[in-house]
Structure 1
Amino acid sequence: MKIKNLRKGPLLFLGISLVLFSGLFAFTLRNDRLFTLAKNIDIFATLVRELDSYYVEEIDADKLVTVGINAMLEELDPYTEYIPEEESEGFRTLTTGEYAGVGALIGNRGEGNMIIMPYTGFPAQEAGLRIADFLLTVDTVNVAKKSTAEVSELLKGPANTNVNVSVLRDKDTLRFELTRKKIVISNVPYYGKLDETTGYIKLAEFTSNASLEVRRALEDLKSQGIEKLVLDLRNNGGGLLNEAVEIVNLFVPKGKEVVKTLGKLDNVNYTYKTTKTPVDKNIPLVVLINEGSASASEIVAGALQDYDRAVLIGRKSFGKGLVQTTLPLTYNAQVKVTTAKYYIPSGRCIQAIDYAQSRENGEITVVPDSLRKEFLTANGRVVLDGAGIEPDAKVEPRQYAPISYTLVAGNHIFDFATQYYYKHEQIGDPRTFSITDEDYNEFVAFLEGKEYDYTTYVEKSLEDLEKYAEKEEYYSEIEEQIEAIKARVNHNKEQDLITHQNEVRRILSGEIASRYYFQEGMIASGLDYDEDIEEALKYLNDADLRQSVLTASKK
């Protein structure tokens, strides 16, 4: 017995020594890190102080330090941001969707700031402000040459306070007295029926109450008799994680894991599960995604895909699998810092860019296809990590004709829609509205004398051919052929207005619909010409096709 104790003694002593050594080593490393941190902070503070004292001109210390902080954070990832005190209100608006003001999106169209979109049910719209009203004054301030940000700040203010604005509409100067109120930007700018049995919900953001708005829309559509649903997450850049969890819960049972966050600290590691009874766990569901769907949108789409609860249609999503936490700093500043990665139910993380590797390489580094790992959905379908959410059915993006881009970018569509609105009191249902042949001819006449030149795809290809031919010294040999092709394809703007008139008419009709029905009208106007929705209806109307996607092995 004593022999055994004697043999254990050295081992026990060795074990204790190793524990003490590892603890001391960790303590030393910790102290080294703290010293390095303190040293560099002291150097930074000393540098700013000496610059303030000795630099040949006066420096703006606030601006200089902010630039330094932002440059430092840019070394990490695009989502870690410094928020000084003066920007805190704007940040709160982004995360909550709330602010106090008049409820209108403003922008500069080259000739000054104007109302781009008044939000339905808020002071600007209720007082009679309309799209394309040019802002002249806000209270006593002439805003003709102010920046959009400056005008926006003047329009905002405490709720229940008044603000006077004057605008130029067509040729008339109009004045309005508005009472500011708390503005809550809707996460669901539109919902309705695509046909008698199919509902559609457009979810634009994930700010506070997003899940409540989707729930109300879904319940309303169900009361109208829908039996199938399209949830549109295209170009939704994300937002609050808990709202994403609640939206998934509308369609999957209570107690299901939606997303797991894992980071360096224990307090950011958490598994989010559904906690409520779903509104409808069986309704046939299609989710629309594209390259603009990110973060919370990807959690919703990915979780519904992992549970084989929805068919995903569109294009591969953005690939943001990082979670940010907002931390308070001194003097009412804040920092939004990436604290974790998230993992959806199959176990995959869909983060597409490796920022640590990117810092080392000096260029954006994505996860190569060869390193993407396979995971399984509930039904055993193969899905991959590391590059966003891939749709179950891909739809190529619509390619607009160059003339369409030019007419939109040159504000010709916008200006004609405004002119149309002044001449026509109403247009009827935006879903069925379309301009007439007479209207289109009037638009063509409206364009006379206006600049809207552009380069067609073929002309651009010819320009590239010329450039490379000259570079490789082949140009003299093919110059004659190139000139002959140029003569054949030299575009005719008037002819393009005929060739692409269906496309231009659809864009015009949507812009005109927005003058009467605002954001809701613009969305509704485009539903019947949407290739993604057309594909969604194909799957919703064919149960066998839908099930073949949700149960088949996906390679």
Structure 2
Amino acid sequence: MKKILKVRWITTLLLVVGVVVFFSFKSGDSRSFQIAKNLDIFNSIVKELDMFYVDTLDPNKTIREGIDAMLYSLDPYTEFYPEEDRSELEQMLKASYGGIGSIIRYEPKLKRTVIVEPYENMPAAEVGLKAGDILLEIDGKDLTGNTDVSKILRGQVGTSFQLKVERPGEAKPLDFTIVRKNIQLPFIPYYSKLDNNIGYINLSTFSGNPSKEFKKAFLDLKKQGITSLVIDLRNNGGGLLEEAVEIANYFLPRGKTIVTTKGKIKQASNTYKTLREPLDTDIPIAVLVNSGTASASEILAGALQDYDRAVIVGNRTFGKGLVQVPRTLPYGGTMKVTTSKYYIPSGRCVQAIDYKHRNPDGSVGRIPDSLTTVFHTAVGREVRDGGGVTPDVAVEQEKLPNILFYLVNDNLIFNYATQYCLKHPTIASPENFEVTDADYAEFKEMVKKADFKYDQQSEKILKNLKEMAEFEGYMKDASEEFKALEQKLSHNLDRDLDYFAKDIKNMIAQDIIKRYYFQRGGIIQQLKDDDDLNEAVKVLGNSEEYKKMLSVPETTVIKEKGKETSLVNFNSYRKSSLMIFDYVV
């Protein structure tokens, strides 16, 4: 009997210990338990589906969609790259890949891929491929209906292939032998000395190693005698964080904090400072930005603004203040994961969207200005966080007409440029080229013959308003007014082509010029009538106004315990452990 009681006591004790261990595991390490539990559930779901679902599953596709949905619920920048897509990630990091060096586009109407823009000094341009060429075959394989020809065109550097194309104006297809090269996207597609000794540098990316080319361009412009500088960061989506720091160092003294990263773990926090002697700390600088200026571009623009080193001109930047690093995964995969936020010298973070706090429907919105915080530049100018970098000089952006969108979307401007090039072996320099009235008349005739249709927004809104008026019973009294308004807003292609001729001509000119002078020529054409650049030139041309913009506002003081004190250098508040991150994307 004693033996049985002893066994029962031991059994009860073991059960109690087991329950205590179980609940202490759940309470003490609940996150680990929840992760393990849900991974087990997910694993079971996949196995059950694979065994019992009515149709055969593609495990790669099914699980990949689950992974992508999970990561996108965090933010758009945390992404998974399986082994077969690693080249895509490497291209993003290095701004280079093995290929032919051309922009291509699949045309649904043709069921073919078309050459859109060959890059200068790259294989496509060197062998003679032109914008408008239709890709027929690669190594004898028909490309009809193939929507992803880019995967075939890219490959190992040094390998070759046979390409057959159809060229407008040519009776027979053309054959080309192309050797793939390492395609390095242009870091600085254009720089030049403008009027009044103003230098201009267009910096297109921070991926790869653009700081070296930027330095060469700047020193070359200095030799040409520039006395001020415009840095164009518009539509620059970012790249390597270190490259932004390096370029900032050209204009800021050694030892200045440019950016600080802060993450959940210690290794995700770091402070980046200027390490070398600058090239020029005095030359007046204007930086052009817009809504496409993001990430590393915002670090450079924001740092120069926070140190009152440059006047920022244009529109508010994109607002990406998140840092990503690559993490190696099994089976050759890589995950680009957001590990920290970055903060520019004043202490502000430019991140515009708070992905942690989503709306009930899963959507996210920009942080409202009312919830942003005021920070101060080195001399005390007010700047704010939470919405990109706000320019010192805001330039109202001219809205492009609705008809232009449809002309581009229907390839009418592209096709006209192709036909124009067949008739004109050469054209004037980009600085002197213009679309004449005769050229434009020819374009209008082509548009009319194409039976061009486009959606007028005013007609759409009027139709919706009319339907609502009928629903609410106002139509009877307002019918005459609606008829009069419909007549005034009636579709008139001739009128719209004439009314918006300036914008349409400019787009035609850009497309034509790029056929002869590549990306460099397109930028020259864009700068002919560029509101942002004109404003920057105006600012740099008035030294007194420039200094005033970068000086402490007369009304800005700091009060401490009832008395006014001098402005404090914000860098004295910035401390962080050291850890090198690879890039910001």
TM-score normalised by structure 1 residue count: 0.91
Q: Which residue of 1 aligns with 2:559?
A: none
CA RMSD, aligned part only? 2.0
Q: Distance in 1 between matches of 2:296 and 2:472?
A: 49
Q: State the Cα deviation string for residues 259-278 of structure 1 (Å, max 9, x = none).
A: 00000111111000111222
- Structure 1: which 5+ residue stretches go unaligned? 1-24
CA contact (8 A) 1:351 1:388 kept: yes
Q: Are residues 1:331 and 2:331 paired?
A: yes
Letter in 2 for 1:254: R
CA contact (8 A) 2:458 2:489 kept: yes
For residue 486 of structure 1, report the CA deviation from its aligned partner.
1.8
For residue 131 of structure 1, report the CA deviation from its aligned partner.
0.9
Q: Which residue of 2 aligns with 1:378?
A: 378
Q: State the Cα deviation string for residues 31-56 of structure 1 (Å, max 9, x = none).
A: 33222222222222222122222222
For residue 30 of structure 1, report the CA deviation from its aligned partner.
6.0
For residue 196 of structure 1, report the CA deviation from its aligned partner.
5.0
CA contact (8 A) 1:431 1:526 kept: no
Letter in 2 for 1:66: R
Q: Are residues 1:478 and 2:478 paired?
A: yes
CA contact (8 A) 1:432 1:525 kept: no
CA contact (8 A) 1:324 1:338 kept: yes
Q: Distance in 1 between matches of 2:248 and 2:542?
A: 23
Q: Which residue of 2 aligns with 1:7?
A: none
Alignment of 1:257-268 (within 5 A): 257-268=257-268
Q: Secondary structure at the match of 2:234?
A: coil
Aligned positions, number: 529
Q: Are residues 1:463 and 2:460 paired?
A: no
Q: Distance in 2 between matches of 1:316 and 1:162?
A: 45
Q: Which residue of 1 aligns with 2:291?
A: 291
Q: Which residue of 1 aligns with 2:389?
A: 389
Q: Which residue of 2 aligns with 1:81?
A: 79
Q: Distance in 2 between matches of 1:312 and 1:370?
A: 22
Q: Distance in 2 between matches of 1:475 and 1:435?
A: 47
For residue 178 of structure 1, report the CA deviation from its aligned partner.
1.0
Worse-matched range after superposition: 438-447 or 282-291: 438-447
Alignment of 1:433-444 (within 5 A): 433-444=433-444
CA contact (8 A) 1:206 1:238 kept: yes
Letter in 2 for 1:43: I
Q: Distance in 1 between matches of 2:120 and 2:412?
A: 25
Q: Are residues 1:52 and 2:50 paired?
A: yes
Q: Which residue of 1 aligns with 2:534?
A: 534
Q: Distance in 2 between matches of 1:72 and 1:132?
A: 40
Q: Distance in 2 between matches of 1:361 and 1:267?
A: 34
For residue 392 of structure 1, report the CA deviation from its aligned partner.
0.7
Q: Secondary structure at the match of 2:276?
A: coil
CA contact (8 A) 2:136 2:166 kept: yes
Q: Distance in 1 between matches of 2:53 and 2:500?
A: 61
For residue 146 of structure 1, report the CA deviation from its aligned partner.
0.7
- Structure 2: which 5+ residue stretches go unaligned? 1-22, 557-585
Q: Distance in 1 between matches of 2:27 and 2:258?
A: 37
TM-score normalised by structure 2 residue count: 0.87
Alignment of 1:424-439 (within 5 A): 424-439=424-439
Work out the percentage of aligned pairs sharing the same amino acid.
44
User: CA distance change for structure 1 residues 132 and 551 in 2, over 3 Å: closer, same or farther?
Assistant: same
Q: Secondary structure at the match of 1:93?
A: helix
For residue 175 of structure 1, report the CA deviation from its aligned partner.
0.7
Alignment of 1:131-210 (within 5 A): 131-147=131-147, 149=148, 151-172=149-170, 173-210=173-210
User: CA distance change for structure 1 residues 387 and 28 in 2, over 3 Å: closer, same or farther?
Assistant: same
Worse-matched range after superposition: 166-175 or 306-315: 166-175
Q: Which residue of 1 aligns with 2:319?
A: 319
Q: Distance in 2 between matches of 1:26 and 1:233?
A: 55
User: CA distance change for structure 1 residues 371 and 499 in 2, over 3 Å: closer, same or farther?
Assistant: closer
Q: State the Cα deviation string for residues 34-79 of structure 1 (Å, max 9, x = none).
A: 2222222222222212222222221111111111111111221111
Q: Which residue of 1 aligns with 2:568?
A: none
Q: Which residue of 2 aligns with 1:496?
A: 496
Q: Which residue of 2 aligns with 1:40?
A: 38
For residue 399 of structure 1, report the CA deviation from its aligned partner.
1.4
User: CA distance change for structure 1 residues 303 and 486 in 2, over 3 Å: closer, same or farther?
Assistant: same
Q: Distance in 2 between matches of 1:202 and 1:467?
A: 49
Q: Distance in 2 between matches of 1:523 and 1:385?
A: 32
User: CA distance change for structure 1 residues 34 and 456 in 2, over 3 Å: closer, same or farther?
Assistant: closer
Q: Distance in 2 between matches of 1:319 and 1:81?
A: 19
Worse-matched range after superposition: 377-386 or 47-56: 47-56
Q: Distance in 1 between matches of 2:28 and 2:342?
A: 27
Q: Distance in 2 between matches of 1:528 and 1:339?
A: 42
Q: Distance in 2 between matches of 1:445 and 1:53?
A: 62
Alignment of 1:218-229 (within 5 A): 218-229=218-229
For residue 338 of structure 1, report the CA deviation from its aligned partner.
0.8
Letter in 2 for 1:310: A
CA contact (8 A) 1:214 1:247 kept: yes
Q: State the Cα deviation string for residues 391-417 of structure 1 (Å, max 9, x = none).
A: 111111111223322222221111111
CA contact (8 A) 1:196 1:225 kept: no
CA contact (8 A) 2:78 2:324 kept: yes
Q: Distance in 1 between matches of 2:26 and 2:542?
A: 65
Q: Distance in 1 between matches of 2:263 and 2:178?
A: 47
